[in-house]
Amino acid sequence: MTDVKVGHKATYLGDGLYAEFDGYQFEVYASDGLRKTNRVFMDKSVVTTFFEYVARSMVAKLSVGPAAGPEPDEAKFIDAYDETEKDPLA
């Protein structure tokens, strides 16, 4: 486990999950407020593969029908996915 640095520029994603970008790779991790735990580092190719997986999963879920809980805002998801086409890592 790594201590969370004071003044770090992490983005809180929800459910105790944070993300940071260092210009090359994304670090995604859980935190208990004191320490980083379960850290994952993803470069451009892994992020792209992850977005493709999420897109396929969302399409599969939407084609099967609603599940328990609120449905995602499909337009918002598609806009966010389209942002990856701009290649922020280039």
Q: Cα 47–53–59 angle (5° rounding)?
A: 135
Retrieve residue 22's tokens: 């260092």
Question: Region 10-26: what's the mean pLDDT?
Answer: 91
pLDDT digits over 19-31, tens only?
Answer: 999 888 999 999 8
Cα dihedral sign for 80, 57, 67, 28?
negative
pLDDT at 7 over 50: no
Retrieve residue 61's tokens: 């879920």
CA 4/CA 8 separation, integer angstroms: 7
Element holding 58 (H helix, E strand): helix 44-64
pLDDT at 3: 47
> Which residue is it, tokens 């996915």?
81
The reported pTM is 0.56
